[in-house]
Amino acid sequence: MASALFDLTGKVALVTGSTKGIGRAIATELARHGAKVVISSRKADACEAVSAEINAELAGQAGGAVPIPANVSHKAELERLVAETRRQLGSIDVLVCNAAVNPHYGPMSGLPDSAFEKILQVNIMSNHWLAQMVLPDMIARRDGAIIIVSSIGGLRGSPVLGAYCVSKAADLQLVRNLALENGPHNVRVNAISPGLVRTDFARALWENPETLARRVEHDPLRRIGEPEEMAGIAVYLASRAGSFTTGQNFVIDGGATIS
């Protein structure tokens, strides 16, 4: 008999930035484990295409997907996203804050105010807003899981990704505070910190073979990750398997931070 430890049947999951990369992999795996998943990003056509692909794969099964586009940098759009999710699927059981930006590559000495403000707005404020929007229902039910996708950049400095790293470090503290405040209501809040993963977002770091070889030379696994390799920990944190786990940061980096 199959274990129900990772079963998400009947759960509603909202995943931001879920039309590609890590977000898409997480959303797809949550749906495969039975959740009804909201696919959300700025572009409606991309949301519809990913939802259709998931629904075609899971036809006749418990899990599935609906497309609800939103720009996470605007609070009003997030309010609409949450309201529309509730209208179509019911209250949200699992929130995955994955959407992030990094409009500046280079030292912070050359960082424009506008770029820094955008990074803080999307990578931190939107996560705070979304958490506050979904928490009342989770608290009322005394059950819920919030997952914020951070980065190993939040654990160390960078000569070219400094502002992004600042935002990801802030996300880790946001997780700890939300876990502390909402744990008495049985709401769990955790972070996932990927290392270098083969996504469009990180293309500048892996597209050049020589740059990639230098980057992974001392990593224990000697390679970068694939988006699908970030999805399993999200299923764990969203399911009964993770019911005693909160306030933690799960580093999934092929061992990069230990070498």
Q: How far apart are CA 254 and CA 194, in angstroms?
A: 9
Domain boundaries, the chain: 12-253
Q: Catalytic residue among 129, 164, 236, 250, which?
A: 164
Q: How far apart are CA 82 and CA 98, in angstroms?
A: 15
pTM of the model: 0.96
Mean pLDDT, all residues of the chain: 95
Give the mean pLDDT per block of 10 residues along the chain (259 residues).
Answer: 89 98 98 98 98 97 97 98 98 98 94 97 98 98 98 95 97 98 98 92 76 87 94 98 98 95
**By percentage, how much of the chain surpasses pLDDT 90?**
89
DSSP single-letter state for residue 197:
B
Fold of 12-253: Rossmann fold (3.40.50)
Q: What is the pLDDT of residues 128-156, one digit of tens each?
A: 999 999 999 999 999 999 999 999 999 99
Buried b (16+ CB within 10 A) or exposed e, 97-113: bbbbbbebeeebeebee
Known catalytic residue at 236: no
* The pLDDT of residue 1: 61
